[in-house]
Amino acid sequence: MAARASDVVIVGGGIMGTSLAWELAKRGAGTVTLLERHTIAFGGSGRTGALIRRHYSNLPEATLAHEGWKTYNAWPDLVGGDPIHTPCGLVVTVDASPECIDNLDKLRKNVALQNSIGIPSVVATREELQGLQPFADWRDVPLAAYEHNSGYVDSVTATRSMAHAAMRAGAVIREHTPVLGIETDGTRVTGVRTPDGVIPAGTVIVAAGPWTNAALTGSGVTLPIETLRVQVAVLHRPIALEQPHFVYLDTSAGIFARPWAPGRTMIGVAGGDQHEPVDPDNYHEQNNPEYPQQAIDAIAKRIPGMKESSYLTGQVGLYDMSPDTHPLLGAIGPDGLNVMVGFSGAGFKKGPAVGRAVADVILNGSCQWVDLQPFRPGRFNEPGYDPNAPWTDTEYTFSSDFGHRL
């Protein structure tokens, strides 16, 4: 196909790129072209847990998560297509070991933060959790945050549905079209390079996840993104556990888990030894041989009956980690170049909201409903910026690494 000029080119067909394409196309941003080097949802968006949690210890990310949830929860009306959100209830546990006991007070404050923006989160006691899910073992959980109407989505369905919405709004989506680099005239972007030639464009947004720096070739921009390989397993539950369980963002048991389909559970084992730095173009795409048993043992800590579950299949995905585990959103480098990357294993829930926020910046010059300044992509080069410093005094501490901050 000949390379045709575009007003806006988006690089990457994950939930970020497709959400932005939909927002820009429906809001009349001109010719919007999304280029995906494989197929839509090939990256993290097709291999994710897609837990739609809204519990965050900072306002901007809680806002993005809540706005993302609103879109997922009203998908047929807002985006079109079938409902995609299963609001089965979601529990967030925190490490309450003696060295992290402050987490319990932080949890109360963070639930209040969520309530202040309309998220119906509550602090649930051990006894209340036991009443809600008697088959789980809550002895290590004095308190948890409970979101009764949060849940999960099928991420491939959601991303593809978003791509269809973008096309209905007028966006052009081209699969199997890798962007080889960014073209500039020295001060601003002029297009992107593809195997079919240069596509001229005045605005380019890179949403290429772990492959971001390769896509940025020629722009003069290199971002501090590290790629981590992360496994999940899908288990058959024993017949005694017919009832679906909550979604768990369970930092106490060191797992994230959710119902997958009737009778099945998806689980990811968190922890530093599970996060392996890899080359995003050359990594092992199947579960390690020992992973199925590790997954069964890990979820049996929360749901003892899962000891009797059996391994069905697994998936391996990549986290695009930023140094502070928060995303990079907005303009950087030559005029007209923007990024939406570095979601560090926690971006799916925010996708539709990030698309809306970045579209506001591109179309209006700023976003009024969420503060994007903390996500400025150049922050890591600022003198004095400490990527290890907590963003708020209610950020949780962990006695072992959970992968991303909370």
Which residues sit at the interface with ligand FAD, rule CB under 6 A?
A: 11-17, 35-38, 42-45, 47-51, 178-179, 207-209, 211, 214-215, 230, 232, 256, 268, 317-319, 343, 345-349
Residue 238 gets which letter from DSSP? P
Q: How far is the CB of 74 from ligand FAD (least distance, A)?
A: 18
**Which DSSP symbol is given to 8?**
E
Please, which residue, 174 or 237, has the CB nearer to ligand FAD?
174
Comparison of 142 and 374: residue with beta carbon closer to ligand FAD: 374
Contact 238, 228 (CB under 8 A): no
On whether the CB atoms of residues 216 and 223 are closer than 8 A, the answer is yes
Q: Which helix or strand (DSSP H or E) is residue 110 part of?
A: helix 102-116
Backbone torsion region of residue 66, taken as left when φ is above 0, otherwise alpha when ψ lies between -120 and 50, otherwise beta: alpha
Choose between 270 and 331: whose C-beta lies nearer to ligand FAD.
270
Q: Which residues pair with 337 in a beta bridge?
A: 204
Shortest Cβ distance from residue 401 to ligand FAD (Å)?
A: 15
* Shortest Å, Cβ 4 to ligand FAD: 16
* Residue 220 CB, nearest approach to ligand FAD (Å): 17
CA separation for the pair 66, 135 (Å, rounded): 29
When the beta carbons of 74 and 101 are compared against ligand FAD, the nearer one is 74
Q: Minimum Å distance from CB 383 to ligand FAD?
A: 29
Instruction: Give the contacts of 25 (CB within 8 A, at least 6 positions apart).
Output: 32, 166, 169, 170, 171
Q: What's the min distance (Å) between Cβ of 45 and ligand FAD? A: 3
* 12 or 333: CB nearest ligand FAD: 12
Q: Which is nearer to ligand FAD, 336 or 352 (CB)?
A: 352
Count H helices, E strands: the chain? 9, 20
Could you give phi then psi for residue 31, rounded to 5 degrees?
-80, 120
Smallest distance from ligand FAD to CB 47, Å = 5
Taking phi over 0 as left and psi of -120 to 50 as alpha, with beta for the rest, 342 belongs to left
- Indicate the residue among 259 and 345 with the shorter CB distance to ligand FAD: 345
User: Which of residues 1 and 240 has its CB atom nearest to ligand FAD in the complex?
Assistant: 1
> Closest Cα to residue 252, out of 378, 127, 142, 94?
94
Nearer to ligand FAD, 238 or 374 (CB): 374
Please name the amino acid found at residue 241: L
Question: What is the closest distance, in whole angstroms, from the C-beta atom of residue 379 to ligand FAD in the complex?
Answer: 18
Both tokens assigned to 401: 């690494």
Closer CB to ligand FAD, 35 or 136, in the complex: 35
Q: In angstroms, what is the minimal distance from the CB of 184 to ligand FAD?
A: 16
Could you give phi then psi for residue 176, rounded to 5 degrees?
50, 40
**Least distance between ligand FAD and beta carbon 16 (Å):** 3
**Rounded to an integer, what distance in angstroms lies between the CA atom of residue 213 and that of residue 225?**
8
Residue of 396, 150, 119, 143 lying closest to 258 (CA atoms): 150
Q: DSSP for 288-344?
A: -TTHHHHHHHHHHHH-GGGGG-EEEEEEEEEEEE-TTSS-EEEE-SSBTEEEEE--T
Residues 6+ apart with CB under 8 A from 326: 61, 342, 344, 374, 375, 391, 405
